[in-house]
């Protein structure tokens, strides 16, 4: 067997952490041949709760789990780490303006970026889950100048999976029949789930749906507002589905996409499709040899152009706001 891979999870005592850690320990993050060593990061007040989760992880007797360490110091938590899942973030509370939210998260993601820069392993890969995920990833990235920029990603795989589920129900086909779906832009209500280039059972997805009113008035809003609908129904935000998407994001990154298929991930823009260079935006991506690559050369119709411009515009505003605050 291989040497264990070090996986750091922040916000380990939170609700996503609780679902995520057991999936990682069971081997679903990297595959059944790869042992993992968990490094949990929490704020001091939540370290005890993280210790409780670690006790339960022990009690899972997972053959692939070769150790658990718990920290309240980012420098230690990211030392030697290969995969960092940045889940812990400052949620928006009542009366909080966007600037306050960005600033509070800057206080988390700046030191974490610095710690990754200082001590992570050379092959470090970072997935930011904590919201506002794209901009938090941008902040962390900008404080890790020695790490290649394409190692910083943010999660839109949950949005991708939500879109797959809606289409699977609409067309009454298994999710696995639907290929080449893409989420564009920000992990927020402005995101754009694009079906134009999708396929279902080898046929064009938009033609199979053949209902633009449903796409615009039901599909897109349902996917974009699903987080709020879950809170409304469950009284708590999505946790197990978010953990599942984080597993999918990293598994795909490491193991690759199927020939001819894509997925969605927020990655650093190289200027493709008019998305300003340097923004961390969701794109259709393939993964190969441990790298996510933006799918190139897609024709973008007028409807898609308007939607992409709107969500990318929001990302540019967030970037300008954190720049003004001196966070990047
Ligand atoms: P939670 O509130 O249950 O847990 C967050 C945990 O992070 C808490 O235990 C807290 O102590 C910890 N934390 C806070 N600051 C920290 C720091 N500086 N270092 C380490 N840990 C820290 O929240 P939950 O439900 O687990 O969600 C976590 C984040 O994921 C939220 O920001 C949420 O909005 C986001 N999210 C993102 C999704 C996506 O698709 N990108 C989907 C669902 C949630």
What does 231-261 look like in DSSP terms, one character per residue? HHHHSS---HHHHHHHHHHHHHHHH-PPTT-
- CATH class of the domain defined by 5-154: alpha beta
Beta strands 5-10 and 36-41, pairing class: parallel
Ligand 1: residue of 11, 42, 90, 153 to mutate (most ligand atoms within 8 A of CB) is 11
| Percent of residues in the chain assigned helix, strand, coil, to nearest 5 | 45, 20, 35
Residue 1: its pLDDT value, please? 66
Binding residues for NAD(+): 11-17, 105, 112, 129-131
Residue 92: its pLDDT value, please? 85
For residue 131, give the ligand 1 atom closest to its CA. 32
Name the region of 320 (left: φ>0; alpha: ψ -120 to 50; beta: rest): alpha
State CA 106 to chain mean position distance: 18
CA atoms of 236 and 47, how far apart (whole Å): 22
Q: Which of 289, 277, 272, 261 is nearest to 315 (CA)?
A: 277
C-beta 65 within 6 A of ligand 1:
no
What ipTM is given for this predicted complex?
A: 0.99
Whole-structure pTM over 0.90, yes or no?
A: yes
* Segment (H or E) for 33: none
- For ligand 1, the distance from its centroid to the CA atom of residue 193, given in whole angstroms, is 24
CATH topology of domain 157-318: L-2-Hydroxyisocaproate Dehydrogenase; Chain A, domain 2 (3.90.110)
For residue 159, give the ligand 1 atom closest to its CA. 40
The tokens describing 306, both together, are 């308007």
* Segment (H or E) for 304: helix 302-324
The tokens describing 282, both together, are 């969701």
- For ligand 1, the distance from its centroid to the CA atom of residue 95, given in whole angstroms, is 19
Residue 117: its pLDDT value, please? 98
Binding residues for substrate: 92, 98, 131, 162
- For ligand 1, the distance from its centroid to the CA atom of residue 129, given in whole angstroms, is 8
pLDDT digits (tens, 9 = 90+) for 71-85: 999 999 999 999 999
- Mean predicted lDDT score pLDDT of the chain: 97
CA atoms of 218 and 118, how far apart (whole Å): 46
CA atoms of 162 and 165, how far apart (whole Å): 5
pLDDT digits (tens, 9 = 90+) for 109-154: 999 999 999 999 999 999 999 999 999 999 999 999 999 999 999 9
- Distance in Å from the first CA to the final CA of the chain: 41
C-beta 130 within 6 A of ligand 1:
yes
Read off the DSSP letter of residue 29. T
State CA 269 to chain mean position distance: 15
Residue tagged 């891979």 (tokens):
5
For the chain, the domains span 5-154, 157-318
C-beta 87 within 6 A of ligand 1:
yes
What does 69-112 look like in DSSP terms, one character per residue? EEES-HHHHTTT-SEEEE-------TT--HHHHHHHHHHHHHHH
- For ligand 1, the distance from its centroid to the CA atom of residue 47, given in whole angstroms, is 14
Sites in the chain below the pLDDT cut of 50 = none
CA atoms of 88 and 45, how far apart (whole Å): 13
Neighbours of 226 (CB within 10 A): 19
User: Do residues 195 and 215 touch, judged by C-beta distance below 8 A?
Assistant: yes
Residue 98: its pLDDT value, please? 84
Q: Please confirm, yes or no, whether 187 is among the known catalytic residues.
A: yes
Q: Which of 143, 187, 197, 249 is catalytic?
A: 187
Burial of 118 (0-12, 13-18, 19+ CB in 10 A): middle
How many residues can be counted in the chain? 328
């Amino acid at each position: 067997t291989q040497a264990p891979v070090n996986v750091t999870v922040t916000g380990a005592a939170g609700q996503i952490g609780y679902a995520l850690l057991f999936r990682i320990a069971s081997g679903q993050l990297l595959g059944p041949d790869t042992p993992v060593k968990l490094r949990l990061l929490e704020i001091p007040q939540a370290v005890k709760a993280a210790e409780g989760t670690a006790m339960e992880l022990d009690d899972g007797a997972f053959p692939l789990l070769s150790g658990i360490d718990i920290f309240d110091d980012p420098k230690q938590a990211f030392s030697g780490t290969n995969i960092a899942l940045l889940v812990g973030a400052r949620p928006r509370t009542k009366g909080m303006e966007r600037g306050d939210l960005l600033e509070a998260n800057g206080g988390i993601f700046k030191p974490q970026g610095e710690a990754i820069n200082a001590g992570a392993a050379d092959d470090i890969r970072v997935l930011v889950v904590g919201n506002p995920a794209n901009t938090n990833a941008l902040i962390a990235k900008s404080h890790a100048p020695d790490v290649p920029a394409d190692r910083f990603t943010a999660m839109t795989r949950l949005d991708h999976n939500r879109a797959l589920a809606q289409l699977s129900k609409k067309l009454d086909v298994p999710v696995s029949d639907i290929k080449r779906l893409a989420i564009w832009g920000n992990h927020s209500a402005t995101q754009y789930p694009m079906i134009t280039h999708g396929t279902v059972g080898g046929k064009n997805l938009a033609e199979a749906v053949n209902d633009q009113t449903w796409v615009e008035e039901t599909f897109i809003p349902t996917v974009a507002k699903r987080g709020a609908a879950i809170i409304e129904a469950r009284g708590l935000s999505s946790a197990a589905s978010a953990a599942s998407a984080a597993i999918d994001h990293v598994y795909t990154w490491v193991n690759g996409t199927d020939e001819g298929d894509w997925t969605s991930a927020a990655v650093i823009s190289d200027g493709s499709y008019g998305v300003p260079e340097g923004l961390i935006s969701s794109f259709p991506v393939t993964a190969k040899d441990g790298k996510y690559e933006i799918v190139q050369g897609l024709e973008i119709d007028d409807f898609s152009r308007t939607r992409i411009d709107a969500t990318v515009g929001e990302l540019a505003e967030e970037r300008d706001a954190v720049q003004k605050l001196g966070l990047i």
